[in-house]
Structure formats: structure tokens, C-alpha cells
Amino acid sequence: MRYPAEETARKHQRLLEAASVMVRQKGLDGVSVSEVMKAAGMTHGAFYSHFANKEQMAETALATALVQTDAGVEQVLAARPDPKDSFLHYYLSPAHRDDPGSGCAMAALAAEIGRAGVGRQVMAGHLRGWLDRIAGGFKWAKGSAQRDQAILMTAAMVGAVILARAVDNPELSNEILDATRTQLLERG
Amino acid sequence: MRYPAEETARKHQRLLEAASVMVRQKGLDGVSVSEVMKAAGMTHGAFYSHFANKEQMAETALATALVQTDAGVEQVLAARPDPKDSFLHYYLSPAHRDDPGSGCAMAALAAEIGRAGVGRQVMAGHLRGWLDRIAGGFKWAKGSAQRDQAILMTAAMVGAVILARAVDNPELSNEILDATRTQLLERG
DNA sequence: TGTACATCAGTGAACGCGCGTTCACTGATGTAC
DNA sequence: TGTACATCAGTGAACGCGCGTTCACTGATGTAC
């Protein structure tokens, strides 16, 4: 049967939200059409009223996840007095490590995108914007380019969260987060 | 028919080698039983003469890939005069970025292991050994713990390679590798 | 040393299963008059 | 404003396909005598 346009729009939004979370939790290839639809409270048949196919959903979910990641960065950049400190404490926290579904899409999906080919352009655009904002928004040590420092910080944060998620030992996992935060703060 | 024990052992070795490469290229879940067997020159039926099931092959392939990664580290630690410099130049090179199959297993597989659960213990053991060796084998800046510096360096290298593989723009990809290397060398 | 036979790695057909996708159908919505 | 009808999001059965896994079979190897 036909549904009110507004309700359909709301359902589509629910779908995007569920897909962006699940994709970060299970990977772009790790979520099935059925489970995304189920999470949004529908049956699998309606999937093709919202997406052309599974690949397009993956791309859309990635884009949505990246937008949410961006929103998080914006929020932190408004923090006073020290946005960089706030950012490092959030990003390298156990909470972020343990909740990939609502966390940074680069840490969750960059590795898979690297081998799949799908989403590499979107990821490049996202990373460019990310680097511009943190290179300009944070205070950096004198003596070397802000952009290079922003790249090191980004690589270290992403790598630290990925490694912290990949080990089963809680002490080692926490140590990775703590040491990375300490080192990045120590250098200015 | 029955085959000479020595030939069987050689085939098993071929299987491990192929699996460890393919798993780094396509992910632990991204390789099928058939394609691994085909790569080793056999048909899929013989798979179960070598492994209990697909999951066990994935674990074995991960372990093999980590051993090969370790062997690479050992080799670099013997480099003169500056093993750290050699290490950073290899790890953060376009060659390493473009050849995940024979590259670092952490960069290739840590993200997937983080969400799968399989291999987290093996990964923790590997990372422990890795950190011990580079914390002890390289020269570090005074003023903060060698281990913390080793962790930052590892996180940054792994993150940089993952990000460099995830973007389609060659300039940005190279910039990530170059900036990370420059920054890590600059700090001693 | 020669003979008889159990072993077992490898082959390729066959299996059930979950997947992405298609389709006939439903019926309230929104539109044309 | 009321009526007739086309639209289309959503349902659930059905599809083909590739996957991991099983199985009967092969025949040279390695062993027992």
C-alpha cells in the first residue's frame, strides 16, 4: 500500500542511520540487506524502494558515517580552552574504542576501503577536509609544518584505535591509547 | 591416490604461503576456500585434508602472515648504521602501500580482527613482541619512555599505511606517507 | 626381495544454506476531473 | 467537495548463485608379512 510521503522520508532516514552504524560495526561487506532492513523495522523486499542495490547502500552508508564523523570534529573544534586536548581525549578513549558504530568512520572502514576500491574517492575528500580543519584549528609545535603535524596526529590516532580494537588484552589496549595520547600531547 | 609425504608437505607449505598473501590482500573473510586451493594448484575438495575448516585456515594464515612480518622486522633491526631510518623508509614507502600481500599483517588485518574477534589473542602476542623489539632496537629521543615512543611510532605507521591505501588520490596518499615519516624522524 | 593390502591426499559431483535480487500483490495516498 | 483511479512503499514468496562442506571414489605410497 502507499504510505504518506513524510513517513517514507522518516523511514529512509532510519535506514541511513542504521546502515551507517552497522557498516562501522561489521564492515561494508559485513552487513546483509536483510539485517539493515530489519534494524530499520522493515522487510527485505522494500530495500529496493530505497537503494538501487547493495553496493549503492554501502556507498551511501559510508558517506553518512563520514558526515557524522565530520560533525563530531566540528563540535570538538568549538571546545574551550583546548580543542586539541579534548579531541585526543575523546578519540583515544576506551569509549570510542568500544563503540565503533558511532565512532570515527576512518578507523572503522579505511582498511576495508583500501582493498575494495569502493569509497576511495569519498574517503580522500573526507580526509582532505579533516586535515584542513585540524591543521587550522589546533595549536601546533613550532619548527615543522602544521599540516605534517596534523597528518602524523591523524595517522597515529587512527592506527592506535585500530590496534586497540584488535588486541584482546585490556591492559595492552589501554596502553596503546594512553601512550599515543601522551606522546601526541607532549610534542605541543 | 596417495602422494609422497614430502610432496604433501610441500603442497601444505604452498597453501600456507598462498593463504597468508591472499588474506592480506582480500581480508580474512574475503578469500574463498576455492580460490586459495586454486592458487596452490589444487581443487577445493583437498582443502579438508589440510585444514579443519575455513576459520582454522584464516587463523593459520594470520599466524603465518604475522611470522613473515616479524621476519621483516628482524631483518631491518640488523641494518646499519640506522635501523630506525631504514625501517621508516621501507614501511612508509609506496612499495609497501601497493603490495599488502607481502606487507605488514597489522596494517592489512588489524581492523578486521578488531570486529571479528578471531585472531585478537594472536595479534596481541605479535604486537607485544613487535613493541619490545623496536623499543629496544631503535634510538629514541630523551625525555619520555622508549616504549611510549615505540607505540606512537607503530600506531602512526599502521594508520598512515591504512589511510594511504584508502584514498584514490596519489598525491594525498604519498603526502600521508612522507609527512608521517618526516615527523617520526624529526623527533629523534 | 617380493607380494598383498591398508592408507590417505587429492578429485569432482553433490549437499544445504544464506545471500542479493526479482516479482506479484496490497491498499492507503495523492491527484485528476 | 466528492468520486474515480493511478501511484508506489512495503510484504513475503521465489529465483539463481556462490559459498563452505561432505562424500564416493582413485590409485600411488608405504607397510606388514
Does the CB of A8 fall within 7 Å of any strand D atom? yes
Cβ contacts below 8 Å, chain A against chain B, sum to 172
Choice between B63 and A118, residue whose per-residue pLDDT is larger: B63
pLDDT at A59: 97
Model pLDDT, residue B80: 85
CA of A22 to C1' of C25 (A): 31
Nearest to B25 by CA among B103, B114, B111, B124: B103
Query: Which residues from 2-41 of A have any strand C atom under 7 Å from their CB?
Result: 2-6, 31-35
Average confidence score pLDDT of chain B:
96
Express each pLDDT in A26-48 by its tens digit. 999 999 999 999 999 999 999 99
According to DSSP, residue B145 is labeled -
pLDDT at site B48: 97
Average of pLDDT values for B155-162?
Answer: 98
Task: Supply the mean pLDDT for chain A.
Answer: 96
Q: A162-166, A183-187, B50-54 — which is least confidently predicted? A: A183-187
> What is the rounded average pLDDT of the residues B33-50?
97
Nearest to A159 among B115, B120, B162 (CB): B162
Minimum Cα–Cα distance from A108: chain B residue: B111
Among A111, A147, A154, beta carbon nearest to B112: A111
Secondary structure of A76-132 as H, E, C letters: HHCCCCCHHHHHHHHHCCHHHHHCHHHCCHHHHHHHHHHHHCCCHHHHHHHHHHHHH
Per-window interface: A 73-92 vs B, CB < 8 A: none
Give contacts of B162 with chain A, Cβ < 8 Å: 110-111, 114, 158-159, 162
For residue B182, say whether its CB is under 7 Å from any atom of strand D.
no
Answer whether B119's CB lies under 8 Å from A134's CB: no
Instruction: Say whether B151 and A111 touch across the interface (CB within 8 A).
Output: no
Would the pLDDT of B93 be above 80? yes
Separation CA B114–CA B69 (nearest Å): 19
Q: Mean pLDDT throughout A115-123?
A: 93
Between chains, do B155 and A154 touch, taking CB under 8 Å as contact?
A: no
Q: What is the pLDDT of residue B32?
A: 98
Q: Assess whether B93 (CB) lies less than 7 A from strand C.
A: no
Other C-beta atoms lying within 10 Å of the C-beta of residue A143 = 8
Res B54 pLDDT > 70: yes
- What pLDDT sits at residue B110? 98
Residue A188 banded pLDDT, cuts 50, 70, 90: low
Is the pLDDT at B188 greater than 80? The verdict is no
d(CA B119, nearest CA chain A) in Å: 8
Which letter, b or e, does each residue of B12-42 get, where b requires 16 or more Cβ atoms within 10 Å of its Cβ?
eeebbbbbbbbbbebbbbbbeeeebbebbeb
Q: What is the pLDDT of residues A61-85, one digit of tens each?
A: 999 999 999 999 999 999 888 999 9
* Residues contacting residue B118 through CB under 8 Å, at least 6 positions apart: B28, B55, B58, B59
Burial A12-27 (b: 16+ CB within 10 A, else e): eeebbbbbbbbbbebb
Of all residues in chain A, the one with the smallest CA distance to B129 is A172
Average pLDDT over residues B106-130: 96
Yes or no: say if A24 and A108 are a contact pair by the CB < 8 Å rule: yes
The model carries a pTM of 0.96
**pLDDT the model gives residue A116:** 87
Q: Which residue has the higher pLDDT, B91 or B79?
A: B91
Whether A154 and B163 lie within 8 Å, measured CB to CB: yes
At residue A47, the pLDDT reads: 98
